[in-house]
């Protein structure tokens, strides 16, 4: 029984039926296995796996390019993540410094700035208020 099935399959593979295509008077397209008036034969090319199959070297090259592409993508993502992490750490440090400075400003009675000679110049109450407001705006804008 097995031999019979194999025999039929071997001879069935190369067999190819003829296919015809025609358009009727209403404009409908039809397909069939027998020729009709105004029909044309459609030739379906036979697939040959041997010709289209890549060689081992071609497969290896393709695999190598794919792996290199994955490695490049992975490296780019890691580099981007590292940059984002450094940027976040930098921003977190700035926020911590600004918050600490705000605590100092709120505890102190007077604020001062240094002039060109390096001597302290005490800020007026109005100037002090402007500095504190600017610092508070920076904290609310840049810190979460």
What percent of the chain clears pLDDT 70, i.e. is strictly above it? 84
Contact 112, 121 (CB under 8 A): yes
The values of phi and psi at residue 111, to 5°, are: -115, 150
- Note whether 61 and 123 are same-domain residues: yes
- Note whether 62 and 47 are same-domain residues: no
Winning range, highest mean pLDDT, from 36-45, 78-87, 110-119: 78-87
- Note whether 10 and 76 are same-domain residues: no
Residue 69 confidence class, pLDDT cut points 50, 70, 90: very high
C-alpha to C-alpha distance for 82 and 84, rounded to whole angstroms: 5
Element (H, E) at 10: helix 2-12
Contacts of 127 by beta carbon, 8 Å cutoff, 6+ apart: 111
Torsional class of 49: left (φ above 0), alpha (ψ -120 to 50), beta (otherwise): alpha
User: Which residue range(s) make up the domain with 62?
Assistant: 56-144
- Does 74 score more than 60 pLDDT? yes
- Note whether 75 and 120 are same-domain residues: yes
C-alpha to C-alpha distance for 14 and 127, rounded to whole angstroms: 96
| pTM for the full predicted model | 0.47
Contact 141, 94 (CB under 8 A): no
- Note whether 48 and 60 are same-domain residues: no
Task: Give the C-alpha distances (Å, rounded to integers) separating 38 from 19, 20, 28, 42.
Answer: 14, 10, 13, 13
- Note whether 45 and 62 are same-domain residues: no
């Amino acid at each position: 029984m097995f031999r019979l099935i194999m025999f039929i399959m071997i001879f069935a593979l190369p067999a190819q039926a003829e296919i015809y295509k025609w358009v009727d008077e209403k404009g409908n397209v039809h397909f069939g296995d027998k020729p009709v008036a105004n029909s044309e034969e459609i030739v379906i090319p036979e697939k040959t796996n041997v010709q289209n199959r890549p060689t081992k070297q071609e497969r290896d090259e393709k695999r190598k390019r794919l792996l290199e592409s994955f490695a490049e993508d992975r490296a780019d993502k890691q580099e981007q993540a590292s940059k984002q992490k450094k940027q976040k750490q930098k921003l977190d440090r700035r926020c911590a410094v600004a918050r600490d400075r705000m605590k100092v400003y709120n505890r102190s009675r007077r604020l001062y700035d240094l002039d060109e000679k390096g001597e302290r110049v005490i800020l007026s109450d109005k100037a002090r208020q402007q500095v504190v407001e600017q610092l508070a705006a920076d904290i609310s804008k840049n810190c979460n």
